[in-house]
Structure 1
């Protein structure tokens, strides 16, 4: 059986895979994201996801290696993880009551076939008009500091999202429907990894 490697230390991505029956080998890439200077969000997340997967791939002989990266775009401005609580508060004050686009790049390297597929999932996120008090309390939990876009849909941040247009798991960091399509394109059934 081909090994499935997740080139990410994200507990949310690992949990999504686990929930659909895939127990990945977790291998954090430690790729230096500051090397990539791309301003288009689609190209940015695809490039970062590919670099993460390519950094991990040489450690394995026969495996599927999945790299992912997510960013949030609000009014054309790209945001990753906030650097500190002050930045998280300011970001939430700017996001509230607005619609953002959550982009997640997916790069799947099949070492046995020497093939690579790179895709991007995009989901519209409608943010509630959250009060300053709620923003400060949310940031104080530390949750938004660990997330691209400054919120965790599957955590407390889910309270402040009114609606999604698109794939919900994409917002958590890994589009399961997109992964299914990518596996199919490489000739695999997702059940091969159960």
Structure 2
């Protein structure tokens, strides 16, 4: 039965959260928060978004991923489908995954000793009602003035090739981030505080997702 809390109607049922992302970091973030999502990779081509501001790129790709996954037959009825995407803004450009060692090295030479903004788009679809809520969260990231040898060693690990902005804060790249302003989880790729608010906006309880963990 639903109950009213303030201006929201909160349901006591525990919907399944479907994560439309292949990101191990996003999955680990949700698991550490007590939520075990069903993972359904969207398969969306991240290069299809046109000439948009970096924050808008993250939001548009998150929406496309959630839409693609919500239409899949394997998504349980009544599930909440979450699409996410992250880009690093540097010099007004949206930097996604570098894809090659050469590009990762080039980016780090441009980033070191400087500050960028990590934008993570969130698009949450309630398949029971058809409602969609969205938000893009931005966190300022200060990069250490790393040496050429450190860049070469980091790129050789392969880690920066497959993550937005060519860095992680929760992995080997953490030592190369001198500070942040904003949500730490957002830099990993998913803002837990903002996701909690999005879940509530759709009329669901965040803590109810803890009890709906699928193992």
Residue of structure 2 aligned with 1:150, choices 132, 145, 166: 166
Structure 1 residue 83 displacement after superposition: 2.0
Number of the residue aligned with 2:69: 56
2:137 corresponds, among 107, 121, 141, to: 121
Question: Which of 37, 40, 43 is the aligned partner of 2:50?
Answer: 37
Aligned to 2:59: 46
Q: Which has the higher contact order (CA 8 A, sep 6+)?
A: 2
Unaligned runs of 5+ in 1: none
Question: Which residue does 1:78 correspond to in 2?
Answer: 94
Query: Structure 2 CA distance, aligned partners of 1:139 and 1:88?
Result: 7
C-alpha deviations, 1:105-132, integer Å up to 9, x for none?
0000011121001110100000000000
1:173 and 2:189 aligned: yes
Task: Give distance in 2, aligned partners of 1:102 and 1:108.
Answer: 20
**SS of 2:42 mapped into structure 1:** coil
Post-superposition shift, 1:77? 1.6
Shift of 1:43: 1.3
Alpha-carbon distance in 2 for matches of 1:23, 1:101: 29
Specify every segment of 5 or more residues in structure 2 that has no aligned partner in the other structure, as ranges. Answer: 1-13, 211-215
Q: Which moved more, 1:100-109 or 1:177-186?
A: 177-186
Q: CA–CA distance in 2 between the matches of 1:152 and 1:137? A: 15
Q: 1:132 aligns with which of 148, 170, 195?
A: 148
Q: Match for 2:39 among 3, 20, 26?
A: 26
CA distance in 2, matches of 1:77, 1:171: 17
SS of aligned partner of 2:71:
helix
**Preserved CA contact (<8 Å) 2:62 2:85:** yes
Following the alignment from structure 1 to structure 2, what is the Cα–Cα distance between the partners of residues 164 and 145?
22
What is the CA deviation profile of residues 165-190 of structure 1, one whole-angstrom value per residue up to 9, with x for unaligned ones?
00010000000111011111111111
Number of aligned residues: 194
